[in-house]
Structure 1
Amino acid sequence: MGADKIFHGGPIVTMDRDQMQVEAVAISKGKIIAAGSWEAVSSYRDSETTMVDLAGRTMLPGFVEAHGHPLLSALCWGDPVVDIRSVHTPTYEAALAKIRRRVSKAKQGDFLWFLGLDAQLHVGAKEPSKAELDELSPTIPIAVQVSNMHGIFLNTAALKALKITRVTPVVPGGHVRYDENGEPWKFEERSRDYIVESFYAICGEQRGIDSLRDWLWKFSKSGYTTSSEMGLTPMTSVFYKKTLEREQMPIRVFCYQRAVPEGIETIPFEGGNDRFAMAGIKMWGDGSVLMGNVWLTKPYLNNEITLTSMGLPRDSVGHMNYKPEELKRIIRAYAARGHQMSVHTHGDRTIDAVLDAYEVALNEFPEAKRPFRLEHCGTLREDQIDRCNKLGVVCSFFLPYLYYWGEALRDALLGPEAAAKFVPAGSAVRMGMRSSLHCDPPMTWPHALLCLHLATTRRSRAGNVIGPDQIMDIDSALRSVTIDAAFHLRKHNEFGSIEIGKYADFVLLDKNPRTVDPEHVLDLKVLGTYVEGERIWECSADEAPTGRDAA
């Protein structure tokens, strides 16, 4: 068989344990037909073969984001949403000033959305009271969403616009906090769903479609050839449908439906293909460590940030979104329907409860698609890693937490010992788990190089190494953003490594991460991607930003 293309002329890292690096790769009809020495692969060359000279660049399997939200990122960010993250507005007062300026320009009928309030990174941060929000905007509806996405504060005008009152029921899996007058004010977890989807509807369908295209390209330009979409709903699935009707996407996307209390499908699972399909069910077991709504064994520290900025009670151990029996019922219902389960879990007590539910479901319904997944896994313990391995459960770790909030975790939230073990990806690898690393966009941007940097150094943006015992080797880190991430999506036989029979999905880097000092992994550059052997984009090293610039 003659090859359509032969790639050669630079290091080719395969992630195949039997031959981690080869000299050349041949592809035909979008799939790999040979990988090995130049002598062996060049035999596939004929008069129709296109030779792709890497010119010293390094080629790897395309990066796989096992826990991504391209569409959610598209809907969360961009006009008309106002960015108030601490990187732009370092203090709480500066964030309020930015809100005031935007409100002053508002027209009647506007609904204003501000995203990025950060209890840990905004200097002088506190929870904005309803009275404070009403003073900022007496008549224009405003929503202020926290940077971790798990909470939204509304003023009175927004409550009226959304027809939310003190007697509006709290949905299962949601939490609502009330002010001193008994009026709703802060909305967490599934209580956010109605609010955000109402805002997306106000913004209009075309805005969502255009923004989704932009974010799919952000993933691609970061070296990803595949991402998941975690938590798709009937309303948001329309944006993918419209996009797919218009054009081929630059990356593959596999979607996990947001779980509902009834334990049923709300989106059709039939159909789909290796470029876009439904994959499983996503459930939120708890919230964000940065909000205090995760269920812990050891309590949060007591200090200005936890008690004032976050509004936690003393010695708080947080909570789950569901009662354990509710969690078991919903997971069991989906397992009975044969679905792969994925549950957001940060608190170690939440992880215990989810593993209890998983054990029941996996034993009762062996036909359910595996592996079942735990997402983020902030305070996962080693005994829980061992239990995961025995159950065949895998963990996807959110390492960028350490880059941006590592010092806050260590000094303000959990203490040095817990921070050193936070997102224990190194322990998981050493204990034999096929774990993955992710960026959880929209909370942080898609950035596989940042995941590799953190996996191999645990060095934060401020320059501190947080938990050196959790450092892993570069090959394990690369597996966690390629073949093992594909395993989480149940697609490891289709892509994730450069092996015969798999899709020719590749990323090009300016240097080989296997030979670069781990401290300089963030200085690497992404230079292009291929999906099924077709070039999606490419640029020169002079044109590309470094990973450090992108972080």
Structure 2
Amino acid sequence: MKTLYCNGTILTMNPDMPEADYLVSEDDRILAVGTGQYAGDYDVCHDLNGHALLPGFMDGHSHLFAMAYSLLTVDLKAAHSIEDVLTKLRQGLPVAKDQWLVGMGYDESTFNGRRDLNRLDLDKISTDIPILCQHASGHVGVVNTKGLTLLGYYPDPPTIPGGVIVMDEGTNLPTGRLEEKALLDEKAQAKMSSINPERLFAAFKKAQQIYASYGLTTIQDAYTKKDMYEALCYAAKQGLFELDVVSYVDEALFKEQMDQAPRPVYTDHYRIGGAKFFLDGSPQAKTAWLSQPYAVVPEGKPQDYCGFPVATDQEIYTYAYQCITHHWPLHVHCNGDAACEQLIEQYGKALKDSGSQEDLRPVMIHAQTVRDDQLDRMVWMRMGLSFFLDHIYYWGDYHYESVLGPERANHISPARAAKARHLHFTLHQDAPVVMPDTMLAIHNAVNRQTSGGRILGKDQCLTVDQALYALTMDGAYQYHEEKSKGSLEKGKLADLVILSDDPHQVAPDQLKEIQVLETIKEGKTIYRKPG
């Protein structure tokens, strides 16, 4: 079926024809894009009514599986005190005898006094049911005494390489706070996992609708473990995916599939895109690995505390070398500039040692505190970035006052500096850390204003076009899919989004108010705004 889109603003993201008057799709592909009056035949006219048509947005980095899982847990994002957390957790009771009570999204930086949760707080809910509260960053969690005992962390915790089980100096017992691999390693996660498959698959569908409501047509599951991969494969075979889903797998799954280099070909809207690795934690949880100490060090830490690495130089070198020589794109989580340095040094060494000239397009994920001298050294290895600019809006004041201090906070997520060096970068929101609100991502890239009204790094503000490009063509580029996605051109997929307004015609401080009216995947409407 041929569909004509006209009577609105059509932003193609194609530099040879930035704007068009009409677009025609036939089934799943774009048949024609042009200016003036369309003279050909068509079956259906989709009148844009003055609204804006753009390429479907590309998810720079998120976690579909965790997004779906979060819909099955207690939502703690709106909790602004420890008592709020406890109240919401009580509403999550009862749970089955063999299940954990899980809450996700708390952020102690919004609490009065900013005191973190501890196991004794959670013991007030139950000493018989294991309880986990996962931090908004996803890199830290607090577990009650029952949960710590089941994990083998209480009363005498083991040493976890790349992780921290925080201890109470007074009692010499765990506080309940688990950082990085103490929370995230496979053994701990397996003990905390108790997902009903039917509920999970229903949550996959609901999560996709959330992504689609923000105009995303290609989404990601970063750090996919084997059990997650099996669930995603099953969901794909059952026809549950309406959007394209790309996995970047963990170390174990990479080693298992190392000899099967990823290709940009989907089966039932699902494929593996590459491998994922972690080098540090998050700045808002103060576990990111910095080269200089935190502005205000966490309680109980020495004054020279800079966070910590979660992998050795040899580990990242070996992983990078294996990815390069087996033709796998590698995405690496780096928030602190010390972690960024570790990646640049070790990936660069692996690239030189391999002798590879392949266009693998490695990506530094988050890159919150990457320095200009580090951006310079990323150019030769064609390393891209994915910026989490919503940090400025949600945590910018906290970064300015407590995490980084004024100088480093003003250079957070230096997107303009990356653009000046012609480095490819995307924008993301690390869902479910925050919702994958693409217009808020554009708003934050253009304005760089905190929720408290402070501007962080005016010299790093992007133009509207640069922000849109990061969500479209550069997104397609990082997925190795620029031949089929990212712009509105003949022969590409009919992945489209209709916005209420042309972002160029809206005041910069109103960009986040633009609404996604419709999301179209391969010619089929996946989401339409109610009303």
TM value normalised by structure 2? 0.92
> Alpha carbons of 1:278 and 1:168: their partners in 2 closer, same or farther (altered >3 Å)?
farther
Match in the other structure for 2:235:
243
Q: C-alpha deviations, 1:223-267, integer Å up to 9, x for none? A: 111112111111112332232232252311111001249855389
Kindly state the Cα deviation for residue 525 of structure 1 after the two structures are TM-superposed: 0.9
> Alpha carbons of 1:295 and 1:107: their partners in 2 closer, same or farther (altered >3 Å)?
closer
2:8, 2:52 within 8 Å by CA — same for their partners in 1? Answer: yes
What is the distance in 2 between the residues matched to 1:61 and 1:452? 15
Q: C-alpha deviations, 1:33-87, integer Å up to 9, x for none? A: 3211133xx23x23x5322221211100001112021211111x133x22223x3
Secondary structure in structure 2 of the residue aligned to 1:208: helix
Secondary structure in structure 1 of the residue aligned to 2:115: coil
Which of 26, 29, 46 is the equivalent residue of 1:28? 26
Higher mean Cα deviation, 165-174 or 323-332? 165-174
> Alpha carbons of 1:129 and 1:11: their partners in 2 closer, same or farther (altered >3 Å)?
closer
2:316, 2:347 within 8 Å by CA — same for their partners in 1? Answer: no
Match in the other structure for 1:6:
4
Kindly state the Cα deviation for residue 361 of structure 1 after the two structures are TM-superposed: 2.3
Matched, 1:471 2:465: no
Secondary structure in structure 2 of the residue aligned to 1:464: coil
Equivalences for residues 170-185 of structure 1 within 5 A: 173-179=162-168, 180-181=171-172, 185=176
Equivalences for residues 525-540 of structure 1 within 5 A: 525-539=515-529
Match in the other structure for 1:186:
177
What is the distance in 2 between the residues matched to 1:452 and 1:149? 23
Kindly state the Cα deviation for residue 170 of structure 1 after the two structures are TM-superposed: 5.3
Kindly state the Cα deviation for residue 159 of structure 1 after the two structures are TM-superposed: 2.9
Kindly state the Cα deviation for residue 268 of structure 1 after the two structures are TM-superposed: 6.9
What is the distance in 2 between the residues matched to 1:532 and 1:281? 27
> Alpha carbons of 1:135 and 1:367: their partners in 2 closer, same or farther (altered >3 Å)?
same
> Alpha carbons of 1:212 and 1:383: their partners in 2 closer, same or farther (altered >3 Å)?
same
What is the distance in 1 between the residues matched to 2:116 and 2:518? 43
Match in the other structure for 2:386:
396
Letter in 1 for 2:219: S
1:103, 1:140 within 8 Å by CA — same for their partners in 2? Answer: no
Kindly state the Cα deviation for residue 402 of structure 1 after the two structures are TM-superposed: 0.9
1:264, 1:334 within 8 Å by CA — same for their partners in 2? Answer: no
Letter in 2 for 1:323: T
Match in the other structure for 1:414:
404
Letter in 1 for 2:189: V
Match in the other structure for 1:234:
226
What is the distance in 1 between the residues matched to 2:510 and 2:337? 33
What is the distance in 1 between the residues matched to 2:190 and 2:245? 21
Q: C-alpha deviations, 1:419-440, integer Å up to 9, x for none? A: 1111111221122222111111
Q: Report the number of matched residues.
A: 524
Kindly state the Cα deviation for residue 399 of structure 1 after the two structures are TM-superposed: 0.6
Q: C-alpha deviations, 1:253-296, integer Å up to 9, x for none? A: 11100124985538976785173210000111111011222211
Secondary structure in structure 1 of the residue aligned to 2:85: helix
* Identity in percent: 26
Match in the other structure for 1:378:
368
Match in the other structure for 1:151:
140
Match in the other structure for 1:127:
116
Which of 325, 341, 349 is the equivalent residue of 1:336? 325
Match in the other structure for 2:347:
358
Higher mean Cα deviation, 366-375 or 396-405? 366-375
Secondary structure in structure 1 of the residue aligned to 2:133: strand
Which of 104, 107, 111 is the equivalent residue of 1:115? 104
Q: C-alpha deviations, 1:426-462, integer Å up to 9, x for none? A: 2211222221111110100011100110111112223
Equivalences for residues 80-95 of structure 1 within 5 A: 81-85=73-77, 87=78, 89-95=79-85
1:262, 1:330 within 8 Å by CA — same for their partners in 2? Answer: no
What is the distance in 2 between the residues matched to 1:379 and 1:28? 45
Kindly state the Cα deviation for residue 314 of structure 1 after the two structures are TM-superposed: 2.1
Secondary structure in structure 2 of the residue aligned to 1:120: helix
Cα RMSD (Å): 2.5
- Structure 2 unaligned spans of 5+: none
Higher mean Cα deviation, 420-429 or 254-263? 254-263
Letter in 2 for 1:443: V
What is the distance in 1 between the residues matched to 2:441 and 2:122? 37
1:209, 1:242 within 8 Å by CA — same for their partners in 2? Answer: no
What is the distance in 2 between the residues matched to 1:107 and 1:262? 34
What is the distance in 1 between the residues matched to 2:164 and 2:378? 29
Equivalences for residues 274-285 of structure 1 within 5 A: 275-285=269-279
Matched, 1:138 2:138: no
2:251, 2:275 within 8 Å by CA — same for their partners in 1? Answer: yes
What is the distance in 2 between the residues matched to 1:153 and 1:138? 14
- Structure 1 unaligned spans of 5+: 544-551
Secondary structure in structure 2 of the residue aligned to 1:95: helix
Higher mean Cα deviation, 440-449 or 329-338? 329-338
> Alpha carbons of 1:184 and 1:122: their partners in 2 closer, same or farther (altered >3 Å)?
closer
Match in the other structure for 1:56:
50
Letter in 2 for 1:196: Q
What is the distance in 2 between the residues matched to 1:199 and 1:484? 37
Q: C-alpha deviations, 1:168-214, integer Å up to 9, x for none? A: 765654443345446584333233243334333x2311121111111
> Alpha carbons of 1:281 and 1:170: their partners in 2 closer, same or farther (altered >3 Å)?
farther
Match in the other structure for 2:65:
71
Which of 196, 208, 211 is the equivalent residue of 2:203? 211
Match in the other structure for 2:311:
322
> Alpha carbons of 1:133 and 1:360: their partners in 2 closer, same or farther (altered >3 Å)?
same
What is the distance in 2 between the residues matched to 1:208 and 1:21? 41
2:464, 2:504 within 8 Å by CA — same for their partners in 1? Answer: yes
What is the distance in 2 between the residues matched to 1:517 and 1:277? 39
Which of 473, 490, 498 is the equivalent residue of 1:508? 498
Match in the other structure for 2:249:
257
What is the distance in 2 between the residues matched to 1:454 and 1:104? 37
2:62, 2:428 within 8 Å by CA — same for their partners in 1? Answer: yes
> Alpha carbons of 1:269 and 1:207: their partners in 2 closer, same or farther (altered >3 Å)?
farther
1:257, 1:281 within 8 Å by CA — same for their partners in 2? Answer: yes
Letter in 1 for 2:525: R
